[in-house]
Structures are given as structure tokens and as C-alpha cells.
Amino acid sequence: MLVRVPEVGATLLIITLAIVAKHVPVIAGLLPWASIAGITCFAFAIYLSLRIFQTELARIRAEE
């Protein structure tokens, strides 16, 4: 399976918490929450693309 539910759920939770934290006045200025959410999205996209690449590469090698 290309996508594992716990991994996607954990990533969505981190992104959601970062976006919510950006709008909470007490902790809004502590960290760059929007950047954290963006970096998390980008890193997870790379992770998923590498997983798809690995799966496709294994399928191609099995056909040979």
C-alpha cells in the first residue's frame, strides 16, 4: 500500500496544529508556524514520492 493511514494522520495532525498555533495569540510569536507547516508538507511530499518511486522500481524490476 502506497499510503499508510497512521503516517498520513500524524502528518495532517502536525500541519493542523501548526496552523492553529499560528492563530493563538499566546504562542503565535514563539515560532514561525506557517513555515513549520510548509516544511512539513514539503517533506511529506518528498517522502511519498520516494515511496511511489521505490514501489514502481520494484515492479519494473520484477517484470524483467
**Containing structural domain, residue 12:** 5-63
**Class of residue 18 by CB neighbours under 10 A (exposed 0-12, middle 13-18, buried 19+):** buried
Q: What is the pLDDT of residues 13-47, one digit of tens each?
A: 999 999 999 999 999 999 999 999 999 999 999 99
pTM of the complete model beyond 0.85: no
Per the structure, the count of domains in the chain is 1
pLDDT value of position 64 = 80
Give the distance from CA 40 to its chain's centroid: 5
